[in-house]
Structure 1
Amino acid sequence: MLSETLKNKYQLCEEIGRGRFGVISRVFCPSTQSSFACKSIDKRLLSDPTDRECLENEPKIMTLLSPHSNIVQIYDMFESDDTLQLIIDLCQPFTLYDKILEPDMSEPKAAAYMQQLMLGLAHCHRFGIVHRDIKPDNIFFDFRGNLKIGDFGSSTWLGEVGTADGLVGTPYYVAPEVVMGRAYNEKADVWSAGVVLYVMLAGVPPFYGETAEEIFEAVLRGNLRFPSRIFRSVSAEVKDLLRKMICRDVSRRWSAEQVLRHPWILNGGETISMD
């Protein structure tokens, strides 16, 4: 339900998504003849202080990062005692997760997606922001086909010390230093993006288990493998990039900017060499 103030500018259309704390609907702005998404959050469902902090941070972070072609943009915000409503980019009704399920995921296609993802992450990191929940479900596409990083509810500023803490993220994609409870920096996002790339090429994550605890144990072991039955036709170049992104030693793990300069990215995934 739209607030009265919001109704003066936008017309409510159909519901297009639903989450833990509210719904996402399409809205239409008559003055600009444009459609947007309205993320409506029910503040009464936020009993956890951490959730409340994320609620307060998300619009601030999105405003700081907007506009960027590879980040979901925020245009407006309306708040009442019970609800927070964000007017953001309207994206297509699928995510990168849906793209991964398609049978025609090639290295050039994966490289194109990864380049856009890393451009968005490099932009975040220049502002001292770590996303903390990079995964295919949080990577969207606008109606021009641009990849867009979304869902900044888990994001945080690194601050003057340049680090964050707290176990935040999704088990398959979370970096080992996060699992260990250490202070971490923006390179935790690079690990997660590396796992996304691995999943794009393999269809399965590099570290897995039946429970979150088992997955965390596999992440901590960090034994990055390329099973021949899955990676038989995958190039040596992309395996090299994966080793640089999914690297347990944070000091040796590449930054988003370095990933963007890797030959596999620069060549658009076009390669003929093999292991």
Structure 2
Amino acid sequence: MHTEEWPSSELGYRIESTIGAGSLGIVYSATVTEGLNIGSKVAIKVVNLDQYSNLNIEDIRKEIQTMRPIYHPSIASYHNCFLTDKILWIIMPLLQWNLESLLKTQAPTGFSDEILIASILRDILITLMYFHQHNKVHRDIKSSNIFINQEGKVILSDYGIVSRIKEIVTLTGNYGSPCWTAPEVINNAPSTIKSDIWSFGILALEIIKGKPPYRDYPPLKVMMMITHKTPPILDKKTNCDQLLKEVVNLCLALDSQRRPNADDLLKKKFFFNSKGVEYVRDILMSSVIASSRESSSEGNAEEQKHPRNLKVPIWNFDSTSPRVPIAKGEDPFDMMSDNDEL
């Protein structure tokens, strides 16, 4: 499948409803109205680049012309990407269940089944390894960018240039959340496969605990904590397998050169516990799907009674809602203490 097969103008899509909101823009569900994929359902992320003074529109335009999506069964790459004036349109596959929403609804304090954890993380690593073997850095590994379908297949989304734009505006303008960002990237080093590995380690913590470290703090303080505090490794007090602790702690080495590659991580004994997509389907997704069908049935009945009362659920693509604001003129270093925990 190639980008030429999808319309390169907003006129080729019929917007239907809002399904997501994030720091960079709104995500809509839509139907393709022309071309080879007419009738296909897609998600469209719309970003107004004019609101970011630190972005060069012409640089973005040139990068769009040269970038190419990566194709793999476990990667949901963007279909097409184009600019209309200063509005960026990213056409993406329409996926249903992301890992962030699954954690919130099924395991708000984290998954306790380590076979399930191994099965999910192993699939993510295999896909990340393929990414890195093609000399690509993902830049945005986190739960809201990981999807699991009804068969239990884990899918990593790749939004192309969006990840690069998000990295720029997050680190320079306090947009979004840097919870998954490697310390060296916060310190203005370029993103590498090793910074992806750090993000994978934070994702693993998120799966284990139900949230990433420092989630409840505003972005500026999060960045200060990541770069100035000891990495949030799993210690002896954490109730999980030592083999899992080994994987997470290797990923969170402060020195990026000491972090393993994805293929090295896959050789760790913890991943021998993985039972694949069937286990993820049977243990996690079967109950999710049953619950979804039940809610859908109730929703249809409610819609017949009160058709205007129903609302489209909104996905939060930032994966965080800061709860501790920084007052004007306040030094974020003064807010830090040794007692700050995950």
Q: Secondary structure at the match of 1:130?
A: coil
Over 3 Å counting, the alpha-carbon distance change for 1:27 and 1:114 in structure 2 is same
Counterparts of 1:137 and 1:99, CA distance in 2? 10
Q: Distance in 2 between matches of 1:196 and 1:264?
A: 16
C-alpha separation in 1, matches of 2:254 and 2:197: 11
Query: What is the aligned counterpart of 2:262 among 237, 256, 262?
Result: 256
Instruction: Tell me whether 1:149 sits opposite 2:157 in the alignment.
Output: yes
**Taking structure 1 as reference, are residues 191 and 35 closer, same or farther at Cα in structure 2, changes over 3 Å only?**
same
Structure 2: stretches of 5+ with no match in the other structure = 1-6, 277-342
User: Equivalents in 2 of 1:114, 1:50: separation in Å?
Assistant: 36
For residues 89-129 of structure 1, the C-alpha deviation after alignment (integer angstroms, 9 at most, x for no partner) is 1111x422122222372222222221222223222222322
SS of the equivalent of 2:17 reads strand
With over 3 angstroms needed to count, the CA separation of the structure-2 counterparts of 1:186 and 1:167, relative to structure 1, is farther
Partner of 2:194: 187
2:116 pairs with 1:109:
yes
Query: Superposition pairs for residues 47-66 of structure 1, below 5 Å?
Result: 47-49=53-55, 53=59, 57=63, 61=67, 63-65=68-70
Distance 1:150 1:76, change over 3 A: closer
Q: Which residue of 2 aligns with 1:14?
A: 17
Contact 1:175 1:191 (8 Å CA) reproduced: yes
Residue identity opposite 2:154 in structure 1: N
> SS state of the match for residue 249, structure 2?
helix
In the TM superposition, what is the alpha-carbon distance from 1:241 to its structure 2 partner?
0.8
Q: Per-residue displacement from partner, 1:233-262 (whole Å, max 9, x unpaired)?
A: x11110111121111122221111212222
* Alignment RMSD (CA, Å): 3.6
Closer/same/farther in 2, CA of residues 43 and 226 from structure 1, 3 Å limit: closer
Matched-pair identity in %: 21
Deviations 1:5-50 (A, max 9, x none): 554x544322222344543222234765432222233344343326
Which residue pairs with 1:138 in the alignment?
145
Deviation, 1:191, is 0.7
Amino acid at match of 1:48: N
* Residue 306 of structure 2: aligned partner: none
SS at match of 2:202: helix
Q: Distance in 2 between matches of 1:167 and 1:5?
A: 30
Q: Please say if residues 231 and 253 of structure 2, whose CA atoms lie closer than 8 Å, have aligned partners that are also in contact.
A: no
Q: Specify the structure having the higher radius of gyration (Cα).
A: 2
Q: Which residue does the alignment assign to 2:293? A: none
Which of 69-78 and 141-150 deviates more? Answer: 141-150
Distance change >3 Å, CA 55–CA 257, structure 1 → 2: farther
Deviation per residue, 1:113-148 (Å, 9 max, x gap): 212222232222223222223222232345654322
SS of residue paired to 1:85: strand
Looking at structure 2, the residues matched to 60 and 267 of structure 1 have their Cα atoms a distance apart, in angstroms, of 41
Is the 1:175–1:192 Cα contact (8 Å) retained in structure 2? Answer: yes
Higher helix share: 2
Q: TM-score, normalising length from structure 1? A: 0.74
Cα distance in 2, alignment partners of residues 204 and 5 from structure 1 = 38
Structure 1 unmatched ranges of 5 or more? 157-165, 271-275
Counterpart-to-counterpart distance in 1, 2:143 and 2:56:
23
Match of 1:246 in 2: 252
Aligned to 1:161: none
Q: Tell me the distance in 1 between the aligned counterparts of 2:99 and 2:57.
A: 25
Out of 69, 83, 87, which is 2:87 matched to?
A: 83
Residue 49 of structure 2 contacts residue 57 of structure 2 at CA under 8 Å; is this kept in 1? no
TM-score (norm 2): 0.61
